[in-house]
Amino acid sequence: MTMEREEGTTRLIPKTLRTTRRRFMMTAGTALGVVSLLPANGGLLARAADWRAFTAHEGATLLRVLRDLFPHDYLADSRYAAALTPLDDMAAGDADMRSLIKAGVRDLDERAMAASNRTFADIPDEATRVRLIAVIEDFPFFAAVHGMCQTPFYNQPDIWPKFGYEGPSAPYGGYIDRGFNDLDWL
């Protein structure tokens, strides 16, 4: 998977996507088949994880909040669910945290109902959801969700290539000898 560069260094991420029409059609056909089997009412979002402390609605709301806080449309819900796992574990063991999250989701839903007559997770307009989140960004609920989920979300090594991050270089001698000056996007 590595590509040789002119300077003699290697890149872990190819600069161009190399796919054929046949591979694209096979992948698209498989994806279409899988999507056709999913429930149409967003059931996948609610069942993205088996929560220990959250109800399905609370889990779906928290996933939607994370998608709005860390908006990467090309990542699956399972990545966001993985980032929620530490918060779920903490809420399962700490009654105060559990009540904070439950009250925060309830408050967010009340604000969403007042703004659009829908629960937060059911609002289709991202701008409306972001405005609702902006209102609560000084609340303990927001601090808990953002603080407990940001590092677990971005610390998933298998999604680093999707961001163009090749991983830590310390085990390979540092960045001086491994791509220090190959910023082609700057």
What integer pLDDT is reported at residue 132 of this predicted model?
95
Out of 113-117, 153-157, 169-173, least confident range = 169-173
Quick: pLDDT tens for 28-64: 655 554 444 444 334 444 444 588 899 999 999 999 9
Question: Do residues 29 and 61 make contact, with C-beta atoms less than 8 angstroms apart?
Answer: no
The reported pTM is 0.68
Q: Which of 54, 58, 49 is nearest to 106 (CA)?
A: 58
